[in-house]
Amino acid sequence: MSQQLMQTWLKLLAEKKFDEYPSLLSSDVVMQFPYAPSPLPREVRGLDSCMEVLQGFLGMFDSWEWGNLDIKECKEEGHVFATASSKAITSTGASYSNIYVLGAEFSEGNLVGYSEYFDPLPAMALMEQLGQ
């Protein structure tokens, strides 16, 4: 079940269905992005804060596509681990791609914890290109 929830979460992210995020996110969700370059936060807590950060970041893109997605259920119930790649086009028409290691924890059908590790170099180049 958690694998399916992770697929749903990643699909909602890619499709920027912001109005549907609250149906999957816990009110006290914690999201971590340990390699995020400035000015992106490395940790965000709570539904409203997470929504604000995700809308701000994903708002920079006209399209986002996950590739090479491999989701594994962990022994501990509700935990999943995934690897993926991305291809995206920014609102300025620039291409962006990256690779990811993702972790998520679900409880009672809600995402309560999410960690996203990615190569910071493409992200830093994107931030520089966008003047941030």
For residue 64, the domain's CATH number is 3.10.450.50
What would the mean pLDDT of 102-110 be, rounded to a whole number? 97
Work out how many domains the chain is built from and give that number.
1
Checking if the pLDDT of 125 tops 70, the result is: yes
What would the mean pLDDT of 54-68 be, rounded to a whole number? 95
pLDDT of amino acid 132: 64
**Type and span of the H or E element at 54:** helix 47-58
Checking if the pLDDT of 130 tops 90, the result is: no
Beta strand spans in the chain (E): 25-32, 43-45, 61-73, 79-90, 95-107, 110-118
The more confidently predicted of residues 127 and 44 is: 44
Q: Cα separation of 14 and 20, whole Å?
A: 12
User: 13 lies in which domain range?
Assistant: 1-130
Q: What is the pTM of this model?
A: 0.93
